[in-house]
Structure 1
Amino acid sequence: MAASTVLTGAALAQALLRPRSVALVGVSDDLAKPAARPLQFLRRSGFAGAVYPINPKRDAVQGEQAWPDLAALPEVPEHAFVMTATEHVVGTVRECARLGVKVVTVLAGGFSEAGPEGQAREEELRRLSRETGVRVLGPSSLGVVHPSTGLILTANAAFAEPDLPRGKVFVASHSGSMIGALLSRGKARGVGFAGLVSVGGEADLSLGEIGLATLDDPEIDSYVLFLESLRHGAQLQQFAREAARRGKPVIAYKLGRSEAAAEMAVTHTGALAGEDDVADAFFRGLGIARVDNLEALLEAPALARRIPLDVSHGHRAPRVGVVTTTGGGAAMVVDQLGVRDVMVQPPSEETLARLARDGLPCTPGRVLDVTLAGANYETMKKVLAILLQAPEFDLVLAVVGSSARFQPQLAVKPILESADSRPGARPLAAMLVPDAPQALAELTAAGVPCFRSPEPCADAIAAVLRRRQPGPAATAQAQRAGAGAFVSEAQAYELLQRLEIAHAPAVTMPLAQAPRELPFDFPVVAKVCSAQIPHKTEVGGVVLGIADSSQLGEAFATLRRNLAERAPGVACDEVLVQPMRKGLMEALVGYRVDAEAGPVVMLAAGGIWAEVAQDRALRLAPVTMETAREMVSEVKAFRSLAGLRGRPRGDLEALAQAVCSLSQLAVRPQLGIAEAEVNPLMVLPQGQGVLAVDALVLRS
């Protein structure tokens, strides 16, 4: 098979999920071994395609004819599941490629995670795929499951479960064990699946490419992703953008939430934008709802299907109206929503008046409590009708108490009847406080978003309501590790001028000579100016508060002395002199190209507070002005510049414009910038703009 015939799109999805023939290479006759499971599962599920057990040591496996090798088969299988020992995998995949097998799933581990020898094996798999066109799933893949065709091609023991639930949710997971966990949890909740794929090590096929290949499948209406990292971020981006365009929501759970920052960062932006912060920005910028709770991973798709991705709340928090038959249960949800910055919106005076006119027994407040006396079908139905027409809510959540378990006709039935899935209808969700599996099953079957505990309920609501349409795609690419070079601060200012970001006036002078007359007034600051010294303060390369010409000459001498002591042999011929400037507050605006997520832009409190306060907002670049304003509103330090308690207002609009302008590096790859940072960027009084007084730029 030539590389020009590499399977993609629908053809890839067919061979991966709906193959007409499957070879089980290394299948075991010992029913206790994982390598015996795929044959058992395929026979039990009634898979209609041809199945070819391959075992060179046996003529029969599990009572069926076995073949000694792939070449002995009566036809070339479309999909081969390779369950051999690690040392035999590459040879088997090479044989698959020679014969023309379209997709090979590799169960074995011992590749990139196993040191240099394993890395070499994985690179050989990658080379085989690239040069021959054979598509490889894995290594360390537990397999592929497609319930509607009976393809249970997996060694995961969880798929011994009878009557696998069928539905329209597609699961792709880095972890093989998680497809089994999600299957069993889904079955318990009445959630069915269109497919489940364990992507493993992604030597060839990535999670993003598999998602992209299945997007046109009418049997799939939403995606659930379990990620260990953002490997193959470009393909994941492409998938997410296309999923958003087709209106198929994507829900993600990613491991690795921690405060650990990047170890090899060269700017504050790199140090502050740790892996998980970048992941958050990645998901947010692509319309993916990231949840923190495993239960929410299964519950969120139904909610996401009811809420269009293009719903925008501007800078405000999303607003949820809560109606309840149990004050305590509602209080738990309100608390969990609050810690996620989701506003529980009290009914407006107009809404309360409508309720009163209809004689509905409600206790008004942040939560509308229909009380025990009002927990009946007619009351709940009428209350829901009014709340779902109220403009103050983005979502209505009904929290139902004990009646959900034993008398669902009182409060659950009106929820079922009131939920409207038509475009533009106000979404309605439910949380059932007692253990009420029958009511949950009925709600799930009807497509009504429903939850059984407050934490995943709030997690899913917050994640789904914060989704946004993907912004413009970046064109800048990550540089090779170790590549790139800094420019001097004077050259960095030239870049800012091209981006129309204002900076303080500056002149450069020879360090070895006496300073000449300045074009601006004292006091000034003098800084060493060299591409070899990106962090000037570390070598004593900054002198502040210079009051006159005499002190400026002394400052030059101080800089020469400090360089000789702290940076001997480092090239530095110039000094940059600027007038001292002071704003209402310092900001940091940074840009960098992440190796997996692509270009990102960050806004934080500037100066020393950048690292101390960890008060920041991060997005995929480029950003629009609307998104830049949203970032400004997220950084707590800047709230004092909004006229808080009579304090002077800062030019936050100019700050947002600076964020937007710097982020445009993402679509100007011809400038060759890997990282750029302005710190500090002085925020001046309202109407006076912002002013860069230091900048650091790394060219790719």
Structure 2
Amino acid sequence: MDAMLPMNALLNPGSVAVVGASDDPTRIGGRPIEAMRRLGFGGRIFPVNPHRNEVQGLPAYASIAALPKTPHAAIVAVPALQALDAVKALAERGVRAAIVFSAGFAETGAPGSALQASLATAASRSGMRLLGPNALGCVNFHSGFVGSFLSTDVTANVRPGNVGIASQSGAYGGHLLAAAADAGVGISSIFMTGNEADLTLADVVHLMVEDPDTTVIALYAEGIQDGPGLLAALQAARRARKPVVMLKVGRSALGSAAALSHTASIVGDDAVCDAVLAEAGVVRASTTEALLDIVRLATRGIFPERNTLGMVTVSGGAGVIVSDAAQALRLPMPELPAHAQHKLLELLPICSPRNPVDTTGQFINDPSIIEPFVDTMLDEGGYRTLLGFFTYAGTAPNVWRGLLERMARVRARHPDRLYVLILRGSRATLDAFEEQGFTVFEDLNRAVAAIAAMGHIGRSFAADAQPGAPIPALAPIALPSGPLTEAQAKQLLAAAGIASVPERACADAESAVRAAREFGFPVVLKILSPDILHKSEAGGVLLGVSDESAVHSGFGTLFQRARNAAPRARLDGVLVARQIMGGVECIMGIQRDPVFGPIAMFGLGGVFVEILNDVVLHRCPFGVDVAERMIRSIRGAPLLLGARGRPVTDIAALARMLSKLSAFAIAAGPRLQSLDLNPVFAMPEGEGALAADAAIVADEAP
């Protein structure tokens, strides 16, 4: 048998066996054969059926052992118990890859899970790769290979193209394929991974990255089994400049962990997924419609890093809609330069020349004005994307043909720009514009959202090409067993270079008074207990303690409050700290996500952080450049940057602390479940950043 890599055998096999082949082209075992013959698959098809000599006009074979040659790939379309025997026989025969349609595995419970594990083991022993089980399979629309039982109604309408689809759901994958075909999207291949006993969504993305026929990747995911693997695949796609658009469903909270940590109460699974996908450059779509809109525009292959939108319209109202949508998506629509506006007014005195540029209804009387208008916008406004609102002009042949001719000349002069049109007309009319490089939408808001996504992709590609700041590296940190006090947490953090407010742990009132005298009044008193994480809620914090008498009495007050709030809590004393004046309160934290590992969080601090929820997340570890971008990205960043006469805070010090915290999360290993620094005082520029409170939650298991 000629050499073929197992993954390539799924995408481009030269031959395929169909185990459980049916002579009936409507049955699951018959559909792949009928579809391959209809789509012109050039390889050999070996039906395996012990009860027939011929299947759909092809010679059939009684068993896998009876095949005249070893096929590159195999389709398994028999019941679950027979599927295990079939996979064993295929592995022994040396088949590179198998697609298992059969259901009755992990999706049915514990017995099915055990059977699925046996299936995966049987394949892995020979190096054979497995798609499924319980999978709707895969189709290569360029070669005509069909390893799927998708209905003829779906596959017959698909146009070969450059968009690869990967879906964990078979039924939804088929729905998405049909919707893509209806939207005019050309498909290179589709993979529906099913139970993912072996091959996962990540493996399919890697395959599509290597596939020259695929330039845009569309994903549908319900649950991510291998977070690091998927992230590596997404990063490979970005390096290859293949945009990924993903519809990720399933939203949940971290449940009981939220009771232990401020960070956990803010960082939900879906928020983490959002952050990690954004880090990898993925555009996340919320609906099928949005996914297909973005994919359609992405097939043009133009991703402006500094995307600016220029709009030419025959309707002032449409211009308002687009302006509102662009502002909401932070898509810049800069005004046309004054000299360019003057030029347009000379061409048409009644126009509105700023941006959006409104030609008014005069366009109908004189369609020729559109060419110099758009040329001026692109030449002198420098817009990277041109959106044209021409509505029902597409219904008048004498208008749309002239519009297409003139816009095509503009595009030939500016081939590096994106062109999006809002146009009504027949399918043939709209296809004529699409074939000339214009992407046609019906809805303005959907068009603007897709345009904004192209800018996100462009910025991601550009960022990937730039070297980042070095990531701090720390030696492994051994977390103590049992709960940690605030003082213990800060000692560990100090060793990692994370500074705290000057403070001292005091076992009695007299030592607390001495510590306060050394720090200078006023001071802060906090109960010190490994069993009381949220001291404020237990009444365990006293601010502005102004003299020795108040320190002495405050010590007793804190002990009494702690006993009332948590009678069984261990009390180790009181923490006396210098009271910080003049800084801005922030919060930093770490939460371990079960899929993607430790995730860092930053936001404005204080007791209302959960209510305001103005936070940013990023996977650990990262350098100071990423940390500073995180800090500047929150809505409350102006409070740190000198808004309304406030002093500018020490952003550089804050970024160093956040970056070191991300390194600490890695060094502490999987036992670290969460870490809160709340508040962190961002001091005026040049005065640093100081953690005023720290809480670490570690897994008890070694």
TM-score scaled by length of structure 2:
0.86
Q: Which residue of 2 aligns with 1:115?
A: 109
User: In the superposition, relative to structure 1, how do residues 349 and 675 fare at CA in structure 2: closer, same or farther (>3 Å)?
Assistant: farther
Q: Which residue of 2 aligns with 1:362?
A: 351
Q: Which residue of 2 aligns with 1:384?
A: 374
Q: Which residue of 1 aligns with 2:402?
A: 410
User: In the superposition, relative to structure 1, how do residues 131 and 520 fare at CA in structure 2: closer, same or farther (>3 Å)?
Assistant: farther
Tell me, yes or no, if the aligned pair for 1:342 and 1:462 is still in contact at 8 Å: yes
Q: Which one of the candidate residues 502, 505, 508 is aligned to 2:505?
A: 508
Secondary structure in 1 aligned to 2:576?
strand
Establish whether residue 459 from structure 1 lines up as the match of residue 484 from structure 2: no
Q: Which one of the candidate residues 260, 264, 270 is aligned to 2:257?
A: 264
Tell me, yes or no, if the aligned pair for 2:385 and 2:418 is still in contact at 8 Å: yes
Establish whether residue 494 from structure 1 lines up as the match of residue 491 from structure 2: yes
CA distance in 2, matches of 1:259, 1:348: 48
Tell me, yes or no, if the aligned pair for 1:42 and 1:150 is still in contact at 8 Å: yes
CA distance in 1, matches of 2:340, 2:497: 48
What are the within-5 Å matches in structure 2 for residues 597-612 of structure 1? 597-612=596-611
CA distance in 2, matches of 1:420, 1:90: 58
CA distance in 1, matches of 2:65, 2:413: 53
Establish whether residue 102 from structure 1 lines up as the match of residue 101 from structure 2: no
User: In the superposition, relative to structure 1, how do residues 507 and 624 fare at CA in structure 2: closer, same or farther (>3 Å)?
Assistant: same
What are the within-5 Å matches in structure 2 for residues 74-113 of structure 1? 74-113=68-107
Q: Which one of the candidate residues 408, 420, 444 is aligned to 1:430?
A: 420
Secondary structure in 1 aligned to 2:371?
helix
CA distance in 2, matches of 1:367, 1:67: 67
Q: Which residue of 1 aligns with 2:10?
A: 16
CA distance in 2, matches of 1:419, 1:556: 76
User: What's the offset of the Cα at 1:148?
Assistant: 1.4
Establish whether residue 241 from structure 1 lines up as the match of residue 235 from structure 2: yes
Q: Which residue of 1 aligns with 2:635?
A: 636
Q: Which moved more, 1:45-54 or 1:633-642?
A: 633-642
Q: Which one of the candidate residues 319, 327, 344 is aligned to 2:333?
A: 344
> Deviation digits for residues 166-212 of structure 1, max 9, x if unmatched?
11111111122333333333333332111111122222111222221
Establish whether residue 287 from structure 1 lines up as the match of residue 314 from structure 2: no
User: In the superposition, relative to structure 1, how do residues 359 and 626 fare at CA in structure 2: closer, same or farther (>3 Å)?
Assistant: farther
Tell me, yes or no, if the aligned pair for 1:431 and 1:453 is still in contact at 8 Å: no
CA distance in 2, matches of 1:484, 1:123: 36
Tell me, yes or no, if the aligned pair for 1:504 and 1:691 is still in contact at 8 Å: yes
CA distance in 1, matches of 2:330, 2:487: 42
CA distance in 1, matches of 2:539, 2:116: 48
Secondary structure in 1 aligned to 2:678?
strand
What are the within-5 Å matches in structure 2 for residues 194-205 of structure 1? 194-205=188-199
User: In the superposition, relative to structure 1, how do residues 449 and 488 fare at CA in structure 2: closer, same or farther (>3 Å)?
Assistant: farther
Establish whether residue 147 from structure 1 lines up as the match of residue 146 from structure 2: no
| Aligned residue type for 1:547 | S
CA distance in 2, matches of 1:100, 1:656: 54
Q: Which one of the candidate residues 20, 38, 42 is aligned to 2:36?
A: 42
Tell me, yes or no, if the aligned pair for 2:423 and 2:440 is still in contact at 8 Å: no
Identity of matched residues, % = 30
CA distance in 2, matches of 1:646, 1:558: 39
CA distance in 2, matches of 1:671, 1:13: 32
Establish whether residue 334 from structure 1 lines up as the match of residue 333 from structure 2: no
CA distance in 1, matches of 2:576, 2:548: 12
Secondary structure in 2 aligned to 1:27?
coil
> Deviation digits for residues 100-139 of structure 1, max 9, x if unmatched?
2211212234433333223333333444444442211122
User: What's the offset of the Cα at 1:463?
Assistant: 2.4
Tell me, yes or no, if the aligned pair for 2:337 and 2:381 is still in contact at 8 Å: no
> Deviation digits for residues 550-572 of structure 1, max 9, x if unmatched?
44344443444455555455555
Secondary structure in 2 aligned to 1:466?
helix
Q: Which residue of 1 aligns with 2:521?
A: 522
CA distance in 2, matches of 1:390, 1:669: 55
Q: Which residue of 2 aligns with 1:400?
A: 390
Q: Which one of the candidate residues 213, 221, 230 is aligned to 1:219?
A: 213
What are the within-5 Å matches in structure 2 for residues 620-635 of structure 1? 620-635=619-634
Secondary structure in 2 aligned to 1:596?
coil
CA distance in 2, matches of 1:687, 1:476: 24
Tell me, yes or no, if the aligned pair for 1:223 and 1:249 is still in contact at 8 Å: yes
User: What's the offset of the Cα at 1:549?
Assistant: 3.4
What are the within-5 Å matches in structure 2 for residues 561-576 of structure 1? 561-564=560-563, 566-567=565-566, 570-576=569-575
Q: Which residue of 1 aligns with 2:20?
A: 26
Secondary structure in 2 aligned to 1:215?
helix
User: What's the offset of the Cα at 1:693?
Assistant: 0.7
CA distance in 1, matches of 2:509, 2:583: 36
Tell me, yes or no, if the aligned pair for 1:604 and 1:635 is still in contact at 8 Å: yes
Secondary structure in 2 aligned to 1:438?
helix
Extract unaligned runs of 5+ from structure 1: 2-6
Q: Which residue of 2 aligns with 1:683?
A: 682
Q: Which one of the candidate residues 180, 184, 187 is aligned to 1:186?
A: 180
Q: Which moved more, 1:443-452 or 1:101-110?
A: 443-452
| Aligned residue type for 1:634 | S
CA distance in 2, matches of 1:360, 1:620: 55
Tell me, yes or no, if the aligned pair for 2:269 and 2:593 is still in contact at 8 Å: no
CA distance in 1, matches of 2:133, 2:45: 22
CA distance in 1, matches of 2:509, 2:197: 55
CA distance in 2, matches of 1:127, 1:583: 63
Q: Which residue of 2 aligns with 1:595?
A: 594
User: What's the offset of the Cα at 1:353?
Assistant: 3.2
CA distance in 2, matches of 1:405, 1:454: 18
Tell me, yes or no, if the aligned pair for 1:329 and 1:401 is still in contact at 8 Å: no
Establish whether residue 253 from structure 1 lines up as the match of residue 242 from structure 2: no
Establish whether residue 71 from structure 1 lines up as the match of residue 68 from structure 2: no
User: In the superposition, relative to structure 1, how do residues 124 and 516 fare at CA in structure 2: closer, same or farther (>3 Å)?
Assistant: farther
Tell me, yes or no, if the aligned pair for 2:219 and 2:246 is still in contact at 8 Å: yes
Extract unaligned runs of 5+ from structure 2: none
Q: Which residue of 2 aligns with 1:4?
A: none
| Aligned residue type for 2:434 | T
Tell me, yes or no, if the aligned pair for 2:9 and 2:97 is still in contact at 8 Å: yes
TM-score scaled by length of structure 1:
0.86
| Aligned residue type for 1:145 | V
